[in-house]
């Protein structure tokens, strides 16, 4: 220790001397040179004690660290501001060759080899921005789901609520999607394509039990629709409960698939109309009695649009996982239909045995049937994370896209399940067997976020084909109608089924397609209305023939005896709904109101239910057929109710796309 003490340097003491500038100047005269100032600072530094120097050095170091931290936190907002302004400067490119009223809503052009392979399932997207959160009456309110908070579902008995921290809460609100009639749809459930879905069972949508906002007032016409629905439901409940269709006159039922078709088709209508008691009762039947493990043949198309579509949309509206489970079950059971040499599905499937086959007399399928199951199967893939459903139906579209035998985008009515080729070439219609092919081209494009350009191209081409080959004007009123073409011969025949077209055209125009489509929609809906108005009962027949030449005492519309039945079909009311939504023109509501009154006058059965009729030309005896089709509840009354509503958020058409059986499914990337 002594050695160490001897070795240590002597302790130096410093005296701090402060020289004032005056003194400095006095000592050496005024000198402001840099060298002098450096020397004087250095001298001052040397005169400081070690402690003082350490304190100063520490302060400098501290300030430097603070400077670095504040620089990095300020740089981020600046960077995003710069990025944003760059984004703002980018312009939307146009799709070459397509005449579009609003190119800004369309996808960027893609290479020539772009095809259905670029479907959203194969190209993961970023989760979309949440849609506008609507403030409004509770039963229509769009609310923020809180993923991190376990919310009570409609059927929960206990509720566990954990409040998230504030910041987290705000973030969840940002990502909110849709709560509707009390149901909350989780963001990823309503907008993601299948590929980006995690491969685990879809969680049920949550429901917030307390909906405190005012309900949207129901107007008089909507009340009349509710009354009509209740009357129809009474007949079904009393005489056909759990069976496919009501026979209201004989107070019995008919079976088609034996799967409670009317009940399933009507589920989401009850939800939309706010018929909670009826809905709960029907739900119980689905939970306890709906069994798909049955040795029955079902038609692939009909069971997809009515059962799978009905279950999926009810799942979305109610958030009740029961409906998704049932949808998965039926979806899986329908898959054997795709096991054909061409992958064009067979028309019929035995859902118990897992076998499929074409109709007995042919190996053909109907074109509309194989191309109008896509919205449902694609959505099932998105919800389950299993892309097999989407792959099967996309393959069909891809194949049909490449087929020859089309006439300016118009397709024949049949396709062979062995060869995969169109058959019965040369006949083109927008009616039975082809109708919803056109409808689903547009709707799939919308469902997938307007990215699948081949669908849009086929749709645009087909509408040009309609204009070129099928449009004519009748006499005397010069009504624009869509006829048929058979081996080069035009026929002035138009099915009531074609009346889906004005609505579809209007939907396309709303989504940015050419305004010409809207003009055509306006002309065609007038024609569809006249198909009712020019008939004695004010109800349209199944098929009309238009007069191409004026004849004294003749109207535009002629009806053949075999075609004068009315099956309570929805197509005209469906199109009236779209037209009213997009134009706000009250005449469309008035036309729908007339139609509802005529249904009440000629098809209502006093003991419950409505019936198809055989003769729309005989008001004194319209000849009831004793059958209420499931689509009367699934579609006709639903579209009536929506038509009479002034609330665009009652199934917002920028968030939902209706399948061909009027079951709303979410648009994956809402506008
Ligand atoms: C419904 O099953 C569907 O609307 C289908 O697209 C056509 N036929 C009936 C209604 O008319």
pLDDT digits (tens, 9 = 90+) for 212-229: 556 779 999 999 999 999
Q: Quote the pLDDT of residue 67.
A: 61
Is 43 inside a domain boundary?
Answer: no
Q: Which of 47-61, 155-169, 182-196, 266-280 shows the lowest mean pLDDT across its residues?
A: 155-169
Question: Sorting pLDDT into bands at 50, 70 and 90, what band is 68?
Answer: low
Residue labelled with tokens 């000849």: 623
Q: Is the distance from CB of 374 to CB of 397 less than 8 angstroms?
A: yes
Binding-site residues, in ranges, read: 660
Residue labelled with tokens 């504030």: 166
Is 179 inside a domain boundary?
Answer: no
Instruction: Indicate whether residue 631 lines ligand 1 (CB < 6 A).
Output: yes
- Which ranges of 240-274 does DSSP label H, i.e. alpha helix? 261-273
Exactly one of 302, 348, 379, 439 is catalytic; name it: 302
Question: Residue 609 sits in which domain range?
Answer: 220-257+361-666
CATH number for 650:
1.50.10.10
In three-state secondary structure terms, 480 is strand
Q: Quote the pLDDT of residue 61.
A: 74
Q: Closest Cα partner for 608 from 214, 126, 237, 294?
A: 237
**Angle between the 261-273 and 309-318 helix axes, to the nearest 10 degrees?**
30
Total domains in the fold of the chain: 1
- Provide, rounded to the nearest whole percent, the portion of the chain with pLDDT above 70: 70
Binding-site residues for Ca(2+), in ranges, read: 660
Q: Quote the pLDDT of residue 17.
A: 35
In three-state secondary structure terms, 666 is strand
Q: Quote the pLDDT of residue 50.
A: 77
Q: If you write DSSP's letter for every residue of 489-503 in order, what string do you get?
A: EEE-EEEGGGGGHHH
* pLDDT at residue 425 tops 80: yes
**Angle between the 374-384 and 321-334 helix axes, to the nearest 10 degrees?**
120
Sign of CA pseudo-dihedral 276, 280, 283, 289: negative
Contact residues for 460 (Cβ-Cβ < 8 A; gap 6+): 98, 409, 513
Is 116 inside a domain boundary?
Answer: no
User: What is the whole-number distance in angstroms between the Cα of residue 199 and the centre of ligand 1?
Assistant: 34
Exactly one of 245, 435, 522, 574 is catalytic; name it: 435
* pLDDT at residue 92 tops 70: no
Share in percent of the chain as helix, strand, coil (round to 5): 50, 10, 40
Is 75 inside a domain boundary?
Answer: no
* pLDDT at residue 96 tops 60: no
Instruction: State the average pLDDT over residues 89-106.
Output: 32
pTM value is: 0.73
User: What is the whole-number distance in angstroms between the Cα of residue 576 and the centre of ligand 1?
Assistant: 16
Is 308 inside a domain boundary?
Answer: no
- For residue 305, with 0-12 CB atoms within 10 Å meaning exposed, 13-18 middle and 19 or more buried, which class applies? buried
Q: Quote the pLDDT of residue 53.
A: 77
Q: Which of 266, 661, 662, 664 gets mutated to test ligand 1 (max ligand atoms within 8 A of its CB)? A: 661
Instruction: Indicate whether residue 570 lines ligand 1 (CB < 6 A).
Output: yes
Question: Sorting pLDDT into bands at 50, 70 and 90, what band is 262?
Answer: very high
Known catalytic residue: 542? yes
- Provide, rounded to the nearest whole percent, the portion of the chain with pLDDT above 90: 67
Instruction: Indicate whether residue 603 lines ligand 1 (CB < 6 A).
Output: no
Report which of residues 25 and 404 the model is more confident about: 404
Q: Is the distance from CB of 469 to CB of 407 less than 8 angstroms?
A: yes
Is 506 inside a domain boundary?
Answer: yes
Q: Quote the pLDDT of residue 4.
A: 36
Q: Is the distance from CB of 159 to CB of 172 less than 8 angstroms?
A: no
d(CA 387, CA 190): 16
Q: Which of 95-99, 242-246, 353-357 shows the lowest mean pLDDT across its residues?
A: 95-99
Known catalytic residue: 439? no
d(CA 593, CA 585): 14
* pLDDT at residue 26 tops 70: no
Q: Quote the pLDDT of residue 62.
A: 76
* pLDDT at residue 181 tops 50: no
Instruction: State the average pLDDT over residues 269-284.
Output: 98
Q: Quote the pLDDT of residue 116.
A: 36
Q: What is the mean pLDDT of the chain?
A: 79
Is 648 inside a domain boundary?
Answer: yes
* pLDDT at residue 364 tops 90: yes
Tens of pLDDT, residues 581-629? 999 999 999 999 999 999 999 999 999 999 999 999 999 999 999 999 9
d(CA 243, CA 44): 102
d(CA 530, CA 555): 10
């Amino acid at each position: 220790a002594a050695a160490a003490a001897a070795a240590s340097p002597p302790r130096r003491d410093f005296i701090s001397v402060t020289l004032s500038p005056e003194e400095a100047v006095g000592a050496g005269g005024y000198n402001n040179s840099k060298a002098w100032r450096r020397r004087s600072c250095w001298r001052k530094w040397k005169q400081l004690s070690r402690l003082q120097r350490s304190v100063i050095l520490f302060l400098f170091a501290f300030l430097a660290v603070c400077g670095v931290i504040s620089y990095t936190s300020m740089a981020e907002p600046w960077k995003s501001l710069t990025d944003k302004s760059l984004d703002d400067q980018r312009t939307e490119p146009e799709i070459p060759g397509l005449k579009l009223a609003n190119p800004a809503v369309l996808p960027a052009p893609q290479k020539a080899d772009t095809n259905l392979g670029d479907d959203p399932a194969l190209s993961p997207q970023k989760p979309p921005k949440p849609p506008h959160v609507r403030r409004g009456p509770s039963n229509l309110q769009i609310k923020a789901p809180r993923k991190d908070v376990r919310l009570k579902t409609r059927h929960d008995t206990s509720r566990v609520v954990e409040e998230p921290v504030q910041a987290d809460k705000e973030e969840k609100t940002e990502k909110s999607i849709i709560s509707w009639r009390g149901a909350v749809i989780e963001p990823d459930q309503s907008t993601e394509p299948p590929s980006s879905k995690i491969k685990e069972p879809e969680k049920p949508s949550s429901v917030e039990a307390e909906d405190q906002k005012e309900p949207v007032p129901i107007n008089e016409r909507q009340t009349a629709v509710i009354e009509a629905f209740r009357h129809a439901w009474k007949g079904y409940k009393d005489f056909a409960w759990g069976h496919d269709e009501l026979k209201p006159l004989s107070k019995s039922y008919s079976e088609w698939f034996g799967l409670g078709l009317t009940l399933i088709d009507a589920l989401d209508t009850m939800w939309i109309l706010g018929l909670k008691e009826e809905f709960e009762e029907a739900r119980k039947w689905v939970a306890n009695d709906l069994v798909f493990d049955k040795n029955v043949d079902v038609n692939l198309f009909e069971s997809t649009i009515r059962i799978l579509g009905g279950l999926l949309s009810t799942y979305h509206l109610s958030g009740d996982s029961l409906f998704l489970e049932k949808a998965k079950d039926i979806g899986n059971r329908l898959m054997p239909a795709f096991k054909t040499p061409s992958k064009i599905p067979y028309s019929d499937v035995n859902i118990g045995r897992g076998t499929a086959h074409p109709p007995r007399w042919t190996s053909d399928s109907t074109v509309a049937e194989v191309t109008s199951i896509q919205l449902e199967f694609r959505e099932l893939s998105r919800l389950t994370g299993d892309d097999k459903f989407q792959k099967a139906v996309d393959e069909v579209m891809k194949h049909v896209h490449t087929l020859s035998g089309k006439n300016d985008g118009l397709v024949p009515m049949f396709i062979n399940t062995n060869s995969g080729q169109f058959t019965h070439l040369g006949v083109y219609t927008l009616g039975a067997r082809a109708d919803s092919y056109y409808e689903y081209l547009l709707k799939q494009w919308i469902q997938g976020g307007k990215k699948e350009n081949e669908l849009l191209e086929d749709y645009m081409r087909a509408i040009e084909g309609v204009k070129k080959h099928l449009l004519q004007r009748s006499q005397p009123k010069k009504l624009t109608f869509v006829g048929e073409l058979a081996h080069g011969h035009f026929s002035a025949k138009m099915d009531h089924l074609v009346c889906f077209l004005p609505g579809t055209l209007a939907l396309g125009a709303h989504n940015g397609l050419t305004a010409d489509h809207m003009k055509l929609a306006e002309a065609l809906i007038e024609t569809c209305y006249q198909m009712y108005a020019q008939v004695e009962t004010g109800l349209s027949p199944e098929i009309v023939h238009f007069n191409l030449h004026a004849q004294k005492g003749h109207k535009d519309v002629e009806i053949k005896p075999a075609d004068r039945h009315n099956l309570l079909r929805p197509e005209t009311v469906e199109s009236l709904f779209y037209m009213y939504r997009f134009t706000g023109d009250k005449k469309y509501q008035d036309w729908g109101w007339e139609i509802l009154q005529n249904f009440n006058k000629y098809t209502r059965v006093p003991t419950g239910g409505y019936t198809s009729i055989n003769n729309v030309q005989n008001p004194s005896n319209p000849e009831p057929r004793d059958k209420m089709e499931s689509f009367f509840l699934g579609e006709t009354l639903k579209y009536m109710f929506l038509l009479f509503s002034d609330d665009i958020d009652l199934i917002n058409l920028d968030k939902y796309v209706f399948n061909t059986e009027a079951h709303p499914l979410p648009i994956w990337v809402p506008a």
